[in-house]
Structure 1
Amino acid sequence: MEALGTLAQPAVLNVGRLGDAYWSWVERPVRGHPRFFGPSWLEHLTKTPWWLVPCLWAPLHLACAAHAHMKYAWPLPHLLGLLVAGVLLWQLLEYLIHRFAFHAHVSSYWGITLHFLFHGCHHKYPMDSLRLVMPPLPALAAHIMVYSALFMSFPPHIALPLFAGAGMGYIAYDCLHYAIHHCKGGRSASPLLFFLQSLRGKHLHHHFRNSHSGFGISSSLFDYVFQT
């Protein structure tokens, strides 16, 4: 990690000392794999391979969709409609969290520390392959919050398929985010590759040209809606 002011290893507990200089530092991306914490066991918890996301969460959300279909006797077209609505709900959450939480301009020591831990590290080290997807523990906390909010807002026969769809949207988001940064484009003219290249262009513009636009990652839908 480059030296700047009082910044030293390990990163997480030192970036807050940069104060206002943090923002100019974190917006200058470099290659590398920073060390977050001193203890190895804690450092290990910050690293997550991309494949863990579908392996861990896809069975849960597929089971929720199947349970909703069997328990509530949703006709398949209606169930698919609710799943799609859940995916769109996730894309809205993805946009709002990225824009208003991950890009909140904080100035306190702990505000900067949390910003770096959750998102600033990705802007500073965008090619750190083991810190591109959400680790299981914060992902579990996010699942619990979304699940609770849906079941408080809707009856169970609607909340469950919405939760399943939102989870599928989350899985797609994390896997696409990894692919945007690390999957090389080939000569294939497949629609999937064209879609990925389109997302990659917009996301890398967010990283390297203008971090105040392009907040959608798995989709640009809400960037168009909110004109960002």
Structure 2
Amino acid sequence: MPKTSGSGRIFKNPVLEKLTRTHIAAPLVAFSAVSTYLLYQAVVAKGIGGLQVLVWFLGGLLLYSLVEYIMHRFVFHMPETTPARKKFVYTAHGVHHDFPRDKDRLAMPVPVSLALSAILFFVFRFAMGDFVYAFLPGILMGYASYLWVHYMVHAFQPPKNAFKIWWVHHGIHHYKQPHRAFGVSTPLWDIIFGTMPEQQK
């Protein structure tokens, strides 16, 4: 059963253990700044029109939400059929399921996520040219929105408005049906792929 308080340990080495912890503000600030810079470059330096920027940005958001769903469902919840898989799943995600209230384990370390972002920039620039300046910010802000929603769900009480949908959806994943409700930033792909929570009596 998930713990309502406390924190799990991933590494015995205290330095490595410290590096697994990230304050939620750090990635939110970093990706907002990077996205703003890239969008500025798209409009001012590359001369991409506003409508094109919006379409590519929304495309990045949509792609991020799909990748989020796929990673959560098929990577972080892969069958633990070997000791190596079991170790990977626990390190990447299982510790979060054991200690869902641990606020410092809700985001990937910023240096790691920025390095991945740099790789994505060059990959997408090769594929789509200057449109990467509008497309990648959509992905990065999709990730930032995931982080913010995820943090709010685990750190705050459910609100009494429409945003409660996210709390209920993710809460079902954690506490009732861990093999359903994989979408965090949106339930869209759960609806499309048939992994919405089952109705319980």
TM-score (norm 1): 0.79
Superposed, 1:67-106 pairs within 5 Å as 67-106=41-80
Shift of 1:89: 1.0
Amino acid at match of 1:58: S
1:134–1:174: 8 Å Cα contact kept in structure 2? no
Match of 1:167 among 125, 137, 140: 140
Structure ID, larger Rg: 1
Match of 2:168 among 201, 209, 220: 201
Higher relative contact order (CA 8 A, sep 6+): 2
Give the structure 1 partner of residue 177 of structure 2: 210
Shift of 1:145: 4.0
Give the structure 1 partner of residue 186 of structure 2: 219
Shift of 1:47: 0.7
1:30–1:124: 8 Å Cα contact kept in structure 2? yes
Stretch deviating more after TM superposition (139-148 or 46-55)? 139-148
List per-residue Cα deviations over 1:44-83 (Å, max 9, x = no partner): 1011111111122211111011101112212212211211
1:153 aligned onto 2:127: yes
Shift of 1:40: 2.1
Give unpaired runs (5+ residues) of structure 1: 1-27
Does the C-alpha gap of structure 1 residues 224 and 149 become closer, same or farther in structure 2, counting only changes over 3 Å?
Answer: farther
1:87–1:165: 8 Å Cα contact kept in structure 2? yes
Superposed, 1:4-153 pairs within 5 Å as 28-31=1-4, 32-153=6-127
Shift of 1:157: 2.1
Stretch deviating more after TM superposition (217-226 or 132-141)? 132-141
SS of the equivalent of 2:180 reads: coil
List per-residue Cα deviations over 1:163-195 (Å, max 9, x = no partner): 1111111111111100111122455x4xxxx22
Q: Matches of 1:211 and 1:132 in 2, distance apart?
A: 17
TM-score (norm 2): 0.89
Runs (4+) off by over 6 Å: none
Does the C-alpha gap of structure 1 residues 186 and 204 become closer, same or farther in structure 2, counting only changes over 3 Å?
Answer: closer
Q: Matches of 2:14 and 2:33 in 1, distance apart?
A: 30
SS of the equivalent of 2:17 reads: helix
Identity %: 28
Amino acid at match of 1:105: P
Shift of 1:218: 0.4
Q: Matches of 1:74 and 1:210 in 2, distance apart?
A: 45
